[in-house]
């Protein structure tokens, strides 16, 4: 019996958690949103670990994982910016970077051929930093107020990381050559 479907199922659960997360943040159910976001963030590490550890990687998973990450960040950062817990410019920066990456992937697919999704290490680090900042902000809103300098440092780090990885993805993919088609 194969369990190779498990990482994709976890990723799909993360995608489907985005709408309830955004709703919880908008309605002020901060503690519940914190728990849901924490579980979703942990699921990002879990599905990747399972896929690598047991060789359950799939092309579908390669597409679903970044979609899940982007859906989760959108569902967290936009409501937090609308609630003024984070600067609106930071949410806009994250959304614009993700749109740039998605547009680049579509352009690659339609102009150059099939796309093998391969996240850069810097992109993975950026996702972790975004998850950590969102968790800090949610913790701050849920109760024990954290030092403002900690949140400000997190904002600066995420802003820098988001800009840098956006540039790195553009440089990486603009210099990449399409895979030659196999001949029969």
Q: Say if 153 falls within a structural domain.
A: yes
Q: Say if 179 falls within a structural domain.
A: no
The whole-number pLDDT of residue 184 equals: 47
Q: Is 81 helix (H, G, I), strand (E, B) or coil?
A: helix
Q: Say if 182 falls within a structural domain.
A: no
CA atoms within 13 A on the CB side of 55: 0
Q: How confident is the model at residue 177 (pLDDT cuts 50, 70, 90)?
A: low
Q: Say if 47 falls within a structural domain.
A: yes
Q: Say if 34 falls within a structural domain.
A: yes
Q: Say if 1 falls within a structural domain.
A: no
State both tokens at 120.
């850069």
What does the pLDDT look like over 31-54, one tens digit per residue?
Answer: 999 999 999 999 999 999 999 999
At 18, which CATH number?
A: 1.20.120.1760
Check: CB of residue 37 under 8 Å from CB of residue 25.
no
State both tokens at 74.
């959108």
Looking up tokens 């988001």, which residue turns up?
Answer: 162
The whole-number pLDDT of residue 103 equals: 86
Looking up tokens 């942990």, which residue turns up?
Answer: 42
Measured torsion, CA atoms of residues 143, 72, 43, 19, in degrees rounded to the nearest 10: 80
Q: Say if 45 falls within a structural domain.
A: yes
Structural domain for 61, as ranges: 6-174
pTM value?
0.89
How many domains does the chain divide into? 1
The whole-number pLDDT of residue 181 equals: 55
Q: Say if 183 falls within a structural domain.
A: no
């Amino acid at each position: 019996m194969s369990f190779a479907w498990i990482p994709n199922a976890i990723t799909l659960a993360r995608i489907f958690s985005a709408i309830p997360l955004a709703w919880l943040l908008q309605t002020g159910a901060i503690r519940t949103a914190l728990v849901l976001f924490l579980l979703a963030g942990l699921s990002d590490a879990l599905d990747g670990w399972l896929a690598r550890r047991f060789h359950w990687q799939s092309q579908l998973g390669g597409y679903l994982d970044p979609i899940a990450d982007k859906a989760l960040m959108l569902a967290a950062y936009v409501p937090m910016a609308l609630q003024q817990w984070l600067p609106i410019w930071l949410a806009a920066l994250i959304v614009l970077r993700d749109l740039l990456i998605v547009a680049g992937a579509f352009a690659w697919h339609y102009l150059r051929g099939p796309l093998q999704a391969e996240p850069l290490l810097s992109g993975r680090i950026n996702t972790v930093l975004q998850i950590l900042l969102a968790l800090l902000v949610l913790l701050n809103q849920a109760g024990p107020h954290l030092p403002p300098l900690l949140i400000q440092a997190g904002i600066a780090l995420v802003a820098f990381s988001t800009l840098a990885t956006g540039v790195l993805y553009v440089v990486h993919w603009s210099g990449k050559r399409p895979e030659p088609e196999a001949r029969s």
